[in-house]
Amino acid sequence: MAGIIKLIFTAFSQSITSFLYLMIIMAVYMQIKRRVQLEETWLGFLRDTVINRLMNAMLYGMIAGLVTSSLIIVTGVALDLNTIIIIWPIALLLTLLNERYLCFSYAGGLLSLISIIFGWPEIDVSSVIAIIGVLHFSESILILLDGHRDALPVVMEHKRFKPIGAFVLGRLWPVPLIILANPSPSLPMAVGALAMPDWWPILSLHREGELILFPLAILLEYSGLAITAQPKERTRVTGLLLGAYSLLILSLGVLSVNHTWLKVIGAILMPFLHEVILHFSRSSQLGGTPLFGAPWRGLRVLEVLPDRLGSHMGLRSGDVLLNVNGKKINSEEMLKETLNNAPNYLWMDLNRGTKTVTTEYRNYRRDEDKLGVIFVPRKTSRLFLANEQHGLAYTLWKRLAQHKHAKEVSE
């Protein structure tokens, strides 16, 4: 056991210093910079630095990578390098249709079906299904632990309600991994052949012969909207759904070793159920009842910024501010005027769920920064558009179709 643990950490150290992992970190850094620009556009300031966000993503990614790598090694799920080489370009080609197809569940399912039907390329379908299940289990853990962080408060248009408050969720994690692989001339001995103990493996999903540890790195991404629930509750539901999905796919991979029909089921369910989860997740938010609608009286709190007056007074996201020092508040202009004329003692009446809460603050200074609270406006022309990220091929096809339609109309 001590020898296996030593090999795992030795291989993991190679993974976090690999060129691929460093390239993925650079990609995450650039994506965080883009999201920081969006945050600055909406809020007018940054809640945290790019470096701090990158360090946080790397920390969670390393934890998830170590847990996932240990699970892969202990269970004995092995892949050929050739399989990895084939899956990557398929995934990249699928992103030409939609960016979400970068997920291996689509490329892995398609590759597995092609292999089952045509017998080429010759891959271990059971191992592909099982390892994709393991990777999604890692993603579900990351979403549960870290998916709600840095949720961006925005204002959106809703088909049944006035402008509503919402949160844009978006996280990226660079995940260093070690996988078990069958030695081949194209696969270098990253750590060396792995002499496994008698009790290993728990699952027999690898080909006979020696196996080696191979350092790898992947990029896991989560994005979504929190409209009908708080960001933490929203990511909890998504994480649990994805966790159940991952365990089902992993189970199919294990059980399909001796049953070809289960390989077919697993190859089909991988992309299909993943798409169902994404569709349910999006439609339940866009079509559900918003949690952050403007109330008929008072101001709805969308976000409370840390270490500001509002957080010191105990305001929470979802609260409805009713009165300040006994004066009714129905607009941000009324709030500003009341705070400008307030003495050094503040008290506020809040509607929190089914009860009314009163909070107070002593030694208030008029010249200090105001509440530090983002409210849901009753009217605004500044709206966030929740557009799906279509790929290059889809965008070009759409433009050609529009051009053809415009030409037909002109004729």
Its sign, for the CA torsion 13, 216, 70, 223, is positive
Task: Tell me what the pLDDT averaged over the chain comes to.
Answer: 87
Q: What confidence score (pLDDT) does residue 194 get?
A: 47
Asked if residue 376 has pLDDT above 70, the reply is yes
Between 307 and 186, whose confidence is greater?
A: 307
Could you tell me if 376 and 299 are in contact, meaning their C-beta atoms sit under 8 angstroms apart? yes
Q: What confidence score (pLDDT) does residue 8 get?
A: 78
pLDDT in tens, 14-53: 889 999 999 999 999 999 999 999 999 998 889 999 999 9
User: Per-residue pLDDT averaged across 50-65, rounded?
Assistant: 96
Number of Cβ atoms within 10 Å of the Cβ of 19 = 8
- Beta bridge partners, 79, equal 181
Crossing angle of helices 231-255/260-286, nearest 10°? 170
Residues of the chain with pLDDT > 90: what percent? 58
Which residue ranges form the domains of the chain, and what is each CATH number?
2-286 (no CATH), 299-375 (2.30.42.10)
Could you tell me if 290 and 166 are in contact, meaning their C-beta atoms sit under 8 angstroms apart? yes
Q: What confidence score (pLDDT) does residue 98 get?
A: 86
Write down the pTM of the prediction.
0.88
Q: What confidence score (pLDDT) does residue 395 get?
A: 65
Asked if residue 300 has pLDDT above 90, the reply is yes
Number of Cβ atoms within 10 Å of the Cβ of 91 = 19
Q: What confidence score (pLDDT) does residue 193 get?
A: 44
Number of Cβ atoms within 10 Å of the Cβ of 267 = 25
Q: Report how far residue 211's alpha carbon sits from residue 175's, in angstroms, rounded to the nearest whole number.
A: 22
Q: What confidence score (pLDDT) does residue 191 get?
A: 46
Between 246 and 14, whose confidence is greater?
A: 246
CA atoms within 13 A on the CB side of 243: 12
Q: Report how far residue 317's alpha carbon sits from residue 304's, in angstroms, rounded to the nearest whole number.
A: 6
Asked if residue 155 has pLDDT above 70, the reply is yes
Q: Report how far residue 224's alpha carbon sits from residue 143's, in angstroms, rounded to the nearest whole number.
A: 11
Could you tell me if 231 and 143 are in contact, meaning their C-beta atoms sit under 8 angstroms apart? no
pLDDT in tens, 157-214: 887 777 999 999 999 999 999 888 766 655 554 444 444 555 455 555 545 556 778 8
Token output for 270: 């991988």
